[in-house]
Structure 1
Amino acid sequence: MRSLLQSCSGSDTGRSVDAALVVERAGGRSVLRRQQIRYPLHITRGFYLDATRPDLLTLYLQSASGGLYAGDRIRLNVDVGRGAAFHLTTQAATVVHAGRNSGATQRQRVYVEPGGFCALTSDAYVLFPDADLTLETDAVVADDAVLCLADGFAVHDPRKSDREAGVRPFKARPFERFEGRLAVSRPDGRLLLKDLGAIDGNELHNGALGPWAAAANLLLIAPQARWPARQELEQAADRNGALGGCSVAPNGAGLILRILAPDGGTLARAMDAAFHVAAAAALGVALARRRK
């Protein structure tokens, strides 16, 4: 592991990191066949948490640097082999610091071979004042494979409260921009869907999401027989204090759940509940809770 200076210094232009994980089925379970991980990324040892799916490998992706900084360019390739089952999640929310006119970009390339199951579920990205983050995902999924993607954002201004700072009224400083780009295709190159969206901090402050201050998407790409009921996904979000709306993805590729929440904690609970509904339908068994 090679340590780099954090990009909070004035002369630092950010970090360019290429990472890769290859998961294959061997000996009756899924194993991490190859890994390329560099600072600031770190992964735990593999966990097998599910008695009902003992072949399912779970890894926690961690940040050793305190979040994403201006100029960061993080690229992660994930390959899930034939018949393998893999869940990659984060250990906690990721703080996104001020973009300083260069922003941060996190790119994922995902390939899921026939019969494979891949879930990439990130806790919310916490956008600090002037944060500028772009998320890009390019996924290739076999016809009978399953891909579950979940990510979202919440906003936070770490400045002291109005009483502590002597400022009345206190008004949170906005983030700069949050943008998501997603493309999913089949191995033969057939495009299934593209999902593009962006929001500026000022738009959020001016009511673009109404009273909500956090948002997330959960995408399930799977054969229709392995979909949960759309109402179940929506109720999973609603029961946790969020607002969920589910629709069928283009080309009947799967389901898309949009979640709005008042804060990051509520969003995290709603995302977790929705993931477990989606995973239970796709795998046919209920998964254990992922402790964080």
Structure 2
Amino acid sequence: MQLVPPSCFAPDRARVSVARLAAEFAGGRTMLRRQQVGYPWHLGRGFHLDSAKPDLLTLYLQSASGGMYAGDELSFDVEVGTGAALHLTTQAATLVHACRDAAASLSQRVHVANGGFAALTNDPYILFPEAELSLATSAVVDSDGVLILADGFGAHRPARFEGTFKRFASELRVTRPDGSLLLLDRAALRGGDLGNPYDALGGAGAGGSVIVIAPAERLPAAEAIEAAAERAGCFAGVSAAPNDAGLVVRMTAPDGGGLTRGLTAAFHVIAETALGVPLAVRRK
């Protein structure tokens, strides 16, 4: 009798994926000039949702894979041309699964040309036990451009699971086209350091940021942003970005759902001032 060893499966290789978008103003509207989006992403059709701002293109970026996994190396390039206006948002929160062998990473590169408006607003990353995520964003923004970046995270522990996430880290570097540095923002948190009223989040279950790069006359009052976050059930603090670049908003919430509402409320206040008109609700 011949013995046959039991079947086994080698672990899947980590995913390496690059996506690219380029938006331009043409024919009275912002349109996609170039689109290269592969698995695990899916990009929905473009919407022009705002009657008061008909040239603003809104895109929903969806995940077809159920989230991010160990060793994922994803990158995304977004280019917004002269006078174009783009809002890129996610369809829901992104799950980050256990990363026992290697951290998941996402790199973003953004270029906003003269007179351009770009808003990249991600719903929070939901970190499962043993999850580890590293975010790195580099942006080049013209002196007359507007950039809004919003993201954050919430810790989640399903029933019958123990522990918390390993680490969440982010880095943002913003420069002018000539290479001069406007802002360098770094943050890192370990899940084991959270869970008490005196931790980095003050005992909250989720935390996030909104970074606004814009000319001074297109920035809202800090009090307006903080009040909007408070109405959404969050706690927010607003400070001036270095080099008169814009504003930095830090926010905490009881959980990921609360953080989503707070980030959304802050985005609408900021976008209304930057564009001069209120925006329609982005339904998800």
Q: Same fold (TM over 0.5)?
A: yes
**Which among 274, 277, 291 is matched to residue 283 of structure 2?**
291
Q: What secondary structure sits across from 2:157 in the alignment?
A: coil
Structure 1's 202 and 226: CA in aligned 2 closer, same or farther, altered over 3 A?
same
Structure 2 partner of 1:194: 184
| In structure 2, distance between residues paired with 1:257 and 1:35 | 31
CA deviation map 1:14-45 (0-9, x unaligned): 10001000000110100011000010001000
Contact kept, 8 Å, 1:174 with 1:205, in 2: the verdict is no
Structure 2 partner of 1:69: 69
**Which among 181, 193, 199 is matched to residue 203 of structure 1?**
193
Structure 2 partner of 1:97: 97
Structure 1's 148 and 10: CA in aligned 2 closer, same or farther, altered over 3 A?
farther
| In structure 2, distance between residues paired with 1:209 and 1:59 | 31
Shift of 1:172: 5.0
Structure 1's 224 and 172: CA in aligned 2 closer, same or farther, altered over 3 A?
farther
Q: What secondary structure sits across from 1:52 in the alignment?
A: coil
Are 1:175 and 2:165 counterparts?
Answer: yes
Structure 2 partner of 1:233: 225
Structure 1's 10 and 263: CA in aligned 2 closer, same or farther, altered over 3 A?
farther
TM-score normalised per structure 1: 0.92
Are 1:281 and 2:273 counterparts?
Answer: yes
Contact kept, 8 Å, 2:195 with 2:203, in 1: the verdict is no
Q: Aligned AA for 2:221?
A: A
Contact kept, 8 Å, 1:244 with 1:257, in 2: the verdict is yes
Shift of 1:125: 0.1
Contact kept, 8 Å, 1:134 with 1:178, in 2: the verdict is yes
Shift of 1:100: 1.4
Shift of 1:13: 3.0
Shift of 1:159: 2.4
Q: What secondary structure sits across from 1:158 in the alignment?
A: coil
| In structure 2, distance between residues paired with 1:40 and 1:231 | 39
Structure 2 residue ranges without an equivalent (≥5): 1-8
Q: Aligned AA for 1:173?
A: G
RMSD, matched Cα: 1.1
Pairing 1:106-125 to 2, within 5 Å after superposition: 106-125=106-125
Q: Aligned AA for 1:134?
A: S
Structure 2 partner of 1:29: 29
| In structure 1, distance between residues paired with 2:212 and 2:181 | 16
Identity, in percent, stands at: 56
Q: Aligned AA for 1:218?
A: V
Q: What secondary structure sits across from 1:205 in the alignment?
A: coil
Structure 1 partner of 2:5: none
TM-score normalised per structure 2: 0.95
Shift of 1:210: 2.1
Are 1:256 and 2:256 counterparts?
Answer: no
Q: Aligned AA for 1:175?
A: F
Contact kept, 8 Å, 1:13 with 1:70, in 2: the verdict is no
| In structure 1, distance between residues paired with 2:107 and 2:159 | 30
Structure 2 partner of 1:166: none
Give the paired residue count: 274
Shift of 1:10: 5.8
